[in-house]
Amino acid sequence: MLEFCGKRCSNTKHLSFLSLLCVLLIAANPVQIRAAQEVEVTYTGNEGFMIVVEGKKILIDAFHRLGDLKHQELLQNGKPPFDDVDLILTTHTDHDHFDLHMVGHYLTNHPKSLFLSTKQATDAFTKYYKNFEKIKARLKGFAPEEGERIHFSHEDIDVTMILLHHGWNRKVKVTNLGFLFFIGGKKFFHMGDSEIVLSELNIYNLPEEKIDVAFVPYWYFTSEKYKPALQKGIGAKQVIPMHLILVDGGPQERLRIMNRIFSEFPDAILFSEEMEKSVIQ
């Protein structure tokens, strides 16, 4: 809509009238006619990503000690491209998704950044982080019940958290959050290490959310147990498989799984190297 107005306005004699019409339409209802923005997604290993749109930055499951030390340093110290992040989201406290000291260091040096995660994660800061007092106001911990949606807004980013269980058979009960977030006219969904199946996922009616981009663990692409949740329970326009660096069986198996995903889901956006970027229209 905005582009249409711009082109017509510059090519006709009705410049002032159409310009005025554009301004009035924008003023009357800025949300409905706002075009979706270009989104830049940067992969930080395992299930970690940075999403940048309209000058807003979100890091999700990005702070872990896997992969290249240089990238860990950039993250921990908030060096470009990881400077001035608005929100740090963490789905759960497993080491391949969350390093308390990396996040703590970042928050200590970036007083405008907020941390959203489980209550288990924020409790860990209380116990184990020496500068807890300095960052505690920006630690937001949540423990949604099954079927519940918890909403949080910050700097024009709307976040919804839901409980997506992390497997019923594990010895230690780790709360795993699913994050829905709306930024730059697009809706994103990150599942963390969910092991939820379709019959359990249906409680959230996710297809009604009209998700643009879903970050989904690879087992939802390869296992007959989980595929129905991906195909019927999410309804995303674009999907990004993740958790591929920790595939049992090493690099060869990882490559085999990536090829398998690519052959069955050719439109999936596959990241293979840390710091790889993709621009999503």
Binding site for Zn ion (CB under 5 A): 94, 96, 193
Residue number with CB closer to Zn ion (167 or 207): 167
CB of 243 to Zn ion, least distance (A): 6
CB of 216 to Zn ion, least distance (A): 13
- Tell me how long the chain is: 281
CB of 61 to Zn ion, least distance (A): 8
CB of 176 to Zn ion, least distance (A): 9
Q: Do the beta carbons of residue 154 and residue 86 sit within 8 Å?
A: yes
Residue number with CB closer to Zn ion (95 or 237): 95
What single letter denotes the amino acid at residue 157? I
CB of 226 to Zn ion, least distance (A): 15
Which SS3 state, helix, strand or coil, does residue 158 take? strand
Residue number with CB closer to Zn ion (135 or 191): 191
Phi, psi of 67 (to 5 degrees): 85, -160
Residue number with CB closer to Zn ion (22 or 177): 177
Identify the CA nearest to 149 among candidates 205, 232, 199, 219: 205
Identify the CA nearest to 97 among candidates 72, 140, 63: 63
CB of 96 to Zn ion, least distance (A): 4
Q: How many CB atoms sit inside 10 A of residue 202's CB?
A: 14
Residue number with CB closer to Zn ion (96 or 274): 96
Residue owning tokens 């959050």: 177
Residue number with CB closer to Zn ion (193 or 274): 193
Give the span between the Cα atoms of 160 and 140, in whole angstroms.
Answer: 13
Phi-psi domain of 164 (left: phi exceeds 0; alpha: psi -120 through 50; beta: other): beta
Residue number with CB closer to Zn ion (46 or 212): 46
Give the span between the Cα atoms of 35 and 20, in whole angstroms.
Answer: 19
The separation between the first and the last C-alpha atoms of the chain, rounded to the nearest angstrom, is 15
What distance lies between CA 272 and its chain's CA centroid? Answer: 17
CB of 83 to Zn ion, least distance (A): 26
Identify the CA nearest to 256 among candidates 211, 218, 227: 218
